[in-house]
Structure 1
Amino acid sequence: METNLLKGYTRSQLALRNGNDREEIWCAYQGLIYDVSASRLWRNGKHYEHWAGQDLTDELVDAPHNALVFDRFKVIGKLL
């Protein structure tokens, strides 16, 4: 994926896409921002003990799945 063609978003902009402030539900992983809005597992911006609108890179270690789970979601930007 050509990341320099992606729109950049700050952590503050990402935080607004938490499922509460706006309809979009986004999360970041390894510098890329994913739209997880369509996932029933991210309803209301929460997925088990994880919250949308933030960078989940460090939290994946505790998850019962690996990074391939992000392949299901559309990349919509990069984290600045």
Structure 2
Amino acid sequence: MGITIAVGVLALLVGLIIGFFAARWYMKKYFEDNPPISPDMIKQMMAQMGQKPSQKKLNQLMSSMKAQQKKENSKK
């Protein structure tokens, strides 16, 4: 009986440790592939397209991107 409990607790701890490192690796990989977009990045992209970004336009783009992200997350 005591050995069964000890093996169960040990398996739980090993699973938690492995799960933590697997999740950490996955999130690092995800953010390398899909970096979060900042207002500075949007300014640079607009400048490359020949547009002069105003603060109002940047705010509109950021809010629309946040709304789209929330919409995608709610579908999951």
Asked whether the two chains share a fold, i.e. TM above 0.5, the reply is: no
Structure number with larger C-alpha Rg:
2
The higher relative CO (CA closer than 8 Å, separation ≥ 6) is in 1
TM-score (norm 1): 0.25
When normalised by structure 2's length, the TM-score is 0.26
Q: Which has the higher helix share?
A: 2
Where is the strand percentage greater, Structure 1 or Structure 2? Answer: 1
